[in-house]
Homo-oligomer: A and B are copies of this chain.
Amino acid sequence: MTSPSISPSANSSQGWFSYPIRVQPHHTDYGGIVWHGTYITWLEAARVEALAAVGIEFADLVAIGVDLPVVDLSLRYHRSLRLGDRAIVYARLLPTKGVRLVWDYSIEPLDNEASNRAESGVHKSARQKGGSDRSYVTGQVTLAAIDPKRGKVLRRYPPIFTEALEKLRA
Chain A residues near B (Cβ < 8 Å): 1-12, 22, 24-26, 28-33, 35-37, 40-41, 44-45, 48-49, 52-54, 57-60, 62, 67, 69-77, 80, 82-85, 119-121, 148
Question: How far, in angstroms, from A95 to B2 measured CA to CA in the complex?
Answer: 23
Residue on B with the closest CB to A26? Answer: B41
Question: How far, in angstroms, from A94 to B48 measured CA to CA in the complex?
Answer: 36
Min distance, Cβ A29 to any Cβ of chain B, angstroms: 5
19 contacts between A and B (CB under 8 A): A2-B9, A2-B53, A3-B9, A3-B52, A4-B7, A25-B29, A25-B35, A25-B44, A26-B29, A26-B35, A26-B41, A29-B29, A30-B82, A36-B69, A37-B41, A62-B83, A69-B80, A72-B76, A73-B73
B37 touching A40, Cβ below 8 Å: yes
Question: How far, in angstroms, from A35 to B70 measured CA to CA in the complex?
Answer: 9
Contacts of A11 in B (CB 8 A): 1
Among B5, B59, B84, which residue has its beta carbon within 8 angstroms of that of A7?
B5
Min distance, Cβ A119 to any Cβ of chain B, angstroms: 5
